[in-house]
């Protein structure tokens, strides 16, 4: 049995307009560190990756101020118009080094609260799986389907519903093919699993912690700081 190889891809080319900040959210600070530095150091210090590709916006002027930019394990490439374009660009940039059967983990730069235990559960839990999968958490709220006037049309049975988180982990060749195929079909997929599903693959859900939040709104930054200070496995300082 061959030892699996893992690559890390971090799409970081979003503008994060909902944060209403003067810089993209990965360059906001938590405990005096850039979000992107927290994300990359947490991942790179808790697992062994062959390499790490970060997709940056062409107009990014903040990356040179980070600690990560001096980290020899990290390489950057230019992202695209949507998240899926940025992930595909990163895979293409790794294309001459990664093998089709290698695993690639894709993690949002806006999720700094990933617990080491969740990363390990994903990597070890799916290491021998043919397709791969993603961290996810069961929906706990009651879900309403709304009509055009915001009137309740139905209450959705939540027992089979999960929230998709990251990292998402798939075979390099299959994921690249799936993202190219989605792009060719004009589909703007919002996660890697959807691209794989469009190819007929069946990704697995690995239950992760619900506090692996994506920083989206201004209030999320303070919440992320609190979560990080409570995680049992973290030193963020
Ligand atoms: O905006 P949202 O939070 O959904 O973005 C999710 C992730 O996708 C973030 O890590 C963001 O930087 C990334 N992204 C990207 N390229 C884009 C849009 C978003 O890399 N064009």
Q: Structure pTM? A: 0.96
Identify the band that residue 31 occupies on the pLDDT scale cut at 50, 70 and 90: very high
50 Cα–ligand 1 center, Å: 23
Within a domain: 85: yes
- Residue indicated by tokens 């998240």: 83
Quick one: DSSP state of residue 1? -
Residue pair 68/26 in contact (Cβ under 8 Å)? The answer is: no
Q: Which residue among 24, 60, 83, 195 has the greatest number of ligand 1 atoms within 8 angstroms of its CB, and so is best to mutate?
A: 83
DSSP assignments along 146-170, one per residue: E-TTS-EEEEE-GGG-EEEEEEEEE
Within a domain: 235: no
Q: Which residue among 84, 86, 90, 217 has the greatest number of ligand 1 atoms within 8 angstroms of its CB, and so is best to mutate?
A: 86
Within a domain: 14: yes
Burial per residue of 176-192, b for 16 or more beta-carbon CB atoms within 10 angstroms, e otherwise: bbbbeebbeeeeebebb
Within a domain: 176: yes
- Tell me: the pLDDT tens digits for 123-182? 999 999 999 999 999 999 999 999 999 999 999 999 999 999 999 999 999 999 999 999
What is the CB neighbour count within 10 angstroms for residue 230? 10
> How far, in Å, CA of 189 to CA of 176, rounded?
13
Question: Quick one: residue 186, left, alpha or beta (phi over 0 = left, psi -120 to 50 = alpha)?
Answer: left
Nearest to 37 by CA among 66, 10, 16, 74: 66
* Per-residue pLDDT at 235 exceeds 50: no
Domain containing residue 13:
6-230
Structure tokens belonging to residue 97: 């080094």
- Tell me: the pLDDT tens digits for 36-51? 999 999 999 999 999 9
Within a domain: 237: no
Structure tokens belonging to residue 43: 């991942």
Within a domain: 1: no
29 Cα–ligand 1 center, Å: 18
pLDDT at position 236 is 37
pLDDT at position 237 is 36
Q: How many domains does the chain have?
A: 1
Give the pocket of ligand 1 (CB within 6 Å): 11-14, 16, 55, 79-83, 86, 108-110, 214, 216
Q: Which long-range contacts (CB under 8 A, 24 or more apart) does 124-131 make?
A: 125/204, 125/206, 126/169, 126/204, 126/206, 127/4, 127/103, 129/204, 131/170, 131/171, 131/174, 131/196, 131/201, 131/202, 131/203, 131/204
Within a domain: 82: yes
Within a domain: 211: yes
Q: Which residue's C-alpha comes closest to atom 19 of ligand 1?
A: 14
**CATH number, domain containing residue 91:** 3.90.550.10
């Amino acid at each position: 049995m061959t030892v699996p190889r893992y690559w890390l891809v971090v799409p970081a080319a979003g503008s994060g307009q909902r944060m209403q900040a003067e810089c993209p959210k990965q360059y906001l600070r938590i405990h005096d560190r850039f979000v992107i530095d927290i994300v990359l150091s947490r991942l790179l210090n808790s697992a062994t990756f062959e390499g790490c590709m970060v997709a940056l916006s062409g107009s990014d002027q903040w990356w040179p101020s980070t600690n990560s930019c001096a980290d020899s394990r990290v390489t950057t490439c230019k992202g695209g118009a949507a998240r899926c374009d940025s992930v595909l660009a990163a895979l293409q940039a790794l294309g001459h080094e990664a093998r089709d059967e290698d695993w690639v983990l894709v993690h949002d730069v806006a999720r700094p609260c990933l617990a080491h235990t969740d990363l390990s559960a994903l990597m070890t839990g799916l290491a021998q799986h043919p397709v791969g999968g993603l961290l996810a958490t069961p929906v706990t709220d009651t879900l309403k389907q709304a009509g055009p006037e915001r009137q309740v049309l139905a209450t959705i049975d939540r027992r089979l519903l999960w929230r998709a988180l990251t990292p998402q982990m798939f075979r390099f060749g299959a994921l690249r093919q799936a993202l190219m195929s989605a792009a060719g079909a004009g589909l703007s997929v919002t996660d890697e699993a959807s691209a794989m599903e469009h190819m007929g693959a069946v990704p697995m859900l690995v239950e992760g912690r619900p506090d692996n939040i994506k920083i989206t709104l201004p209030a999320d930054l303070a919440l992320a700081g609190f979560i990080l200070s409570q995680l049992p496995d973290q030193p963020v300082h």
